[in-house]
Amino acid sequence: MALSTPHARPWSPARVPYRLLLIGLAVVVGLGGTYVAVAGNPFGRNQQAVTFDTALISQGRLQLSVAATGPVTNPVSVPLSFNSSGKLSEVDVGVGQRVTAGQTLARLDSTDLQAAVDQAQATLNQQQANLAKVAAGATPEQAALAQAQISAAQTTFDGAQKSLQAAQGTSSTTVAAAQADIGASQVSLGSGQNTLQGTQDQADAALQADQTALANAQQAYQDQLHTFQANWGQVQAGLDQQNVAVQNAQKALDDAKAGLAAAQKTADQATQADTVSIQSAQQTLSNAQAALSAAQQQVTTSEAADQVAIQNAQHNLSNAQAAANNASDVAAASNTVAAKQVDQTKSGPNSTSASVSTSQAQQDLTAAQNNQTLANAQANITTAQNALNTARAALRSDQAKNQGSLVTAQANITSGQNALNTAQAQQQSNLAKNQQSLVTAQQQVTSAEDALESAQAAQATAQAQNQQGLESARAGVNQALNSVLSAQDNLNNDQTKQQASVQSAQNAIDQAQSAADKSLTSLQNTVAQQAGTLQSAQNTAAQNQAAVQTQLASASQTLAPPTQADLDTASAQVANAQVALQTAQNNLEAAVLTAPADGTIASLNGAVGQFIGGGATSSSSSTSSSSSSSSSSSSTGNAFITLSDLSTPQVSASVSEADIGKVQLGQKVTFTLTAYPNRTFTGTVATIVPAGTTTSNVVTYSVLISVDPTDVQLLPSMTATVTIITQQVDDALLVSNAAISNGKVNVLRNGSPVAVPVQTGITDGVNTQVLSGLQVGEQVVTGTSSGASNRSGSASASGNVFGFGPPGGGNNRQGGQQRSAPGGAGGQG
């Protein structure tokens, strides 16, 4: 690492070059001598003259007030909207325009509203006509029509009764014929059932003989089959033994092959594992070699950095020692100059004790500064020496650490090489073991294959010997089976013949039964049909009789005079129609929005052609705090038009909790507005809202101020700076608060202060009301100041301890400075 480039060090008192210090001391000595010669002895000017600051007793107005701020508000804002929704067809005003009560503001499209009025008028006309109809009663035409309807209904009823009587006669004849058909069908059915019984008895006897022959043939077949199965069992047992021997040989062969495959797999896995172990050992050895190289590189870098740090520390120590030597030389020269300055002051023609003390003090100050400079230089040497020692210790520590790192890296290389050798030896050993296992497994496979071939040959010989015996037994079984089949065929043929005879008899019975069923069904249908016909005739007669009664009742209702309930219902329907007509007319008239009172359009939300909503709205009052005013205005923000009264504005001022107790109703108020910077407005406290508002733990109260008439327009939300006059005294004697002390005032009489007791009243913090003890025009003392008696050669007392400083003089006032109290309004409290 290269040494750092030397750079300029910042200036400090301990590092002033001694040449500059010598020059500075020479200048100080020269200026000091000049000052002494020109200004004389600065410590000899100790005679001071006292002067008085005074103020006049005046007469004027004294006010106490409370300051506040708040917005201008208007007392009432009326939100206006149409009663119902609709499309805006006309807007006759704009924002800021003044309007008068009854003036048209806007109109809605009245097409649908006019149609509703027309419909309501038509409904009313209809209900009125219905009422007149109900009140008039039945006409002669309606009476004749009712009598004709009764006659027609009676004629229809007489015809229905005749039809009923004819249907009853026809029904009796039809039912008797159907009952005769049922008797004949039942006789035919009995004859067919007797024939069927004889045929079934003959068929049962023939079938019994056939079944006995079939049973004997089946028994002989079962005997032959049992014999064959016994022989087959013996043959099968021998075959099973041969099959077991073949299966065991096959299984032994499969196991041997599986063992060979497992041995091969084990050998492959061992070889792969040994290869991985060797590769891992080789990688570990390579990593250890790389770590050794890195450690060697780190040792070289670390020792080089430590050497550079030692060189820098040695350089800094040399610089600190040279600086200490320079500081020592400068201190010696500075002390010598200071000593000569003291000697020069003592032996000078204008030497005084004060000038000698000054020179001696300067010498002591110089010596102290030089000592501090030498101490700082010595401290720098110590710091540099410590840094050098630290750098050398760091070098020794790094060398020890690096040696340990190198030893560890070399040990890792040795360990890695040993691991590689071990893995390679293990690989050779495993190869030999696995080769022997493969040879043994292959021998076992060859032996199992020989055993399988022997078992398969024995199995083929046994199968050939047993095949001949099985063929002979199978021939006996087949002969017995043929006898069974022949007996079964005879039984089937006889069953077919007997079934045909039985079926023929059964068909005759079925036909007779079918004829009887049809006759019965016909009878039932006839009875049901005749019953339906009779019921229909009876229903028709009953309906016609009911129609006669209905016509009689209808005629009675038609011819009867109207009831009071009918008249009341018709009258109520007329009244409802009148109300609906009046509502429709009101909605039509409400399509024109007019101003309810004089005012100014504050907002307008809508344009011609826009569909706007309707509904009731309520006015909002600003007789609360400014926050409530803003909330009320937001609650009416959905109104179509907002009409505000701007003729009587108010100011909503926020007064702090500390001042609200001073505020009362009726107190006078003055305020200013940013919009009118050269105007002052007046008003009166009208309302004090009792509910306070807390913001960031600060409580304020809203005070509503009524504004006196003015010739300019005060708009809502203008910010007002308010002064509430809580107390006022006109023509009061005023004295400055600086003149009052312990109930007394020093009055300047003949150039000297005289303490006068006074009785005071209210105060605004600057001036106080005097109730007794003083008169207008008297001068009172508000303070004192001192100045030199010899102004021609005086120097300001603001000079420093060595007498250096700008020249100045004392107070040249003869009779004291006068300060009069204001004669106008007092300051704000």
Q: Which of 654, 665, 663 is nearest to 700 (CA)?
A: 654
* Phi–psi pair at 540, nearest 5 degrees: -60, -45
What does each C-alpha distance from 554 to 134, 387, 413, 598, 743 come to in angstroms? 16, 134, 129, 67, 117
Burial label for 308, CB within 10 Å (0-12, 13-18, 19+), is middle
Render pLDDT for 431-445 as a digit per residue (tens, 0 to 9): 888 888 888 888 888
Single-letter residue type at 4: S
146 or 584, which is more confident: 584
What does each C-alpha distance from 326 to 6, 14, 332, 374, 765 come to in angstroms? 18, 11, 10, 9, 64
Q: What is the C-alpha separation between 729 and 440, in angstroms, rounded?
A: 134
Render pLDDT for 787-803 as a digit per residue (tens, 0 to 9): 544 443 333 333 333 33
- Please state the pTM of the whole predicted model: 0.35
Q: Is residue 383 part of a domain?
A: yes
pLDDT of residue 812: 38
Coil, strand or helix at 358 = helix
Q: What is the C-alpha separation between 385 and 318, in angstroms, rounded?
A: 9
Q: Which two tokens stand for residue 160?
A: 């229905």
What is the residue-wise DSSP string for 408-453? Answer: HHHHHHHHHHHHHHHHHHHHHHHHHHHHHHHHHHHHHHHHHHHHHH
pLDDT-based confidence at 6, cuts 50/70/90?
very low
pLDDT over 60 at 363, yes or no: yes
The number of domains in the chain is 1
Q: What is the C-alpha separation between 18 and 8, in angstroms, rounded?
A: 17
Q: What is the C-alpha separation between 350 and 32, in angstroms, rounded?
A: 12
Single-letter residue type at 348: G
Render pLDDT for 123-146 as a digit per residue (tens, 0 to 9): 999 999 988 888 877 777 777 887
Residue 494: domain span: 157-536
What is the residue-wise DSSP string for 34-47? Answer: HHHHHH--GGG---
- According to DSSP, residue 328 is labeled H
Q: What is the C-alpha separation between 148 and 314, in angstroms, rounded?
A: 148
Strand ordering across the sheet containing 611-612: 592-594, 104-108, 86-91, 611-612
pLDDT over 70 at 562, yes or no: yes
pLDDT of residue 211: 85
Q: Which of 809, 796, 787, 795 is nearest to 52 (CA)?
A: 787
Render pLDDT for 724-745 as a digit per residue (tens, 0 to 9): 999 999 999 999 999 999 999 9
pLDDT of residue 693: 94
What does each C-alpha distance from 707 to 197, 483, 646, 806 come to in angstroms? 133, 141, 11, 58
Q: In 560-705, where does DSSP find H-type helix?
A: 564-589, 626-635
Which residues fall within 8 angstroms of residue 28, CB to CB, at 6 or more apart? Answer: 362
- According to DSSP, residue 348 is labeled S
pLDDT of residue 64: 93
pLDDT of residue 21: 52
pLDDT over 80 at 746, yes or no: yes
What is the residue-wise DSSP string for 780-814? Answer: EEEEEEEEES--SS---TTS-TTS-S--------S
pLDDT over 70 at 819, yes or no: no
Q: Is residue 550 part of a domain?
A: no
For 13-17, 189-193, 361-365, which range has the lowest pLDDT when averaged over its residues?
13-17
Q: Is residue 65 part of a domain?
A: no
Render pLDDT for 389-441 as a digit per residue (tens, 0 to 9): 999 899 888 888 888 888 898 898 999 889 888 988 888 888 888 888 888 88
Q: Which of 331, 429, 386 is nearest to 15 (CA)?
A: 331
* Phi–psi pair at 774, nearest 5 degrees: -135, 165
Q: Is residue 125 part of a domain?
A: no
**Summary count for the chain: helices (H), strands (E):** 6, 24
Which residues fall within 8 angstroms of residue 93, CB to CB, at 6 or more apart? Answer: 99, 103, 105, 106, 601, 604, 641
Return the bridge partners of 757, or none: 744
Render pLDDT for 499-538 as a digit per residue (tens, 0 to 9): 888 888 888 888 888 887 888 888 888 888 878 888 888 8
pLDDT of residue 620: 54
pLDDT of residue 740: 94
| % of the chain surpassing 70 pLDDT | 86
- According to DSSP, residue 739 is labeled G
pLDDT of residue 817: 38
The total of other beta-carbon atoms located within 10 Å of residue 801's CB is 10
* Phi–psi pair at 816, nearest 5 degrees: 90, 150
Q: Which two tokens stand for residue 447?
A: 């032996």
Average pLDDT in the 652-670 region?
A: 95
Mean residue pLDDT of the chain comes to: 81
Q: Is residue 214 part of a domain?
A: yes
| Burial track 646-662 (b if 16+ CB lie within 10 A, e otherwise) | beebbbbbbbeeebbee
pLDDT of residue 26: 56
pLDDT-based confidence at 826, cuts 50/70/90?
very low
Q: Is residue 352 part of a domain?
A: yes
Residues 558/143, Cβ–Cβ less than 8 Å: yes
Q: Which of 782, 780, 769, 781 is nearest to 733 (CA)?
A: 769
SS3 sequence of 97-160: CEECCCCEEEEECCHHHHHHHHHHHHHHHHHHHHHHHHHHCCCHHHHHHHHHHHHHHHHHHHHH
Coil, strand or helix at 656 = strand
Average pLDDT in the 62-91 region?
A: 89
Q: Is residue 619 part of a domain?
A: no
Q: Is residue 522 part of a domain?
A: yes
Residues 714/645, Cβ–Cβ less than 8 Å: no
- Residue 478: CA count within 13 A, CB half-sphere: 6
Q: Which of 203, 138, 148 is nearest to 558 (CA)?
A: 138
Q: What is the C-alpha separation between 320 and 331, in angstroms, rounded?
A: 16
* Phi–psi pair at 828, nearest 5 degrees: -80, 140
pLDDT over 90 at 615, yes or no: no
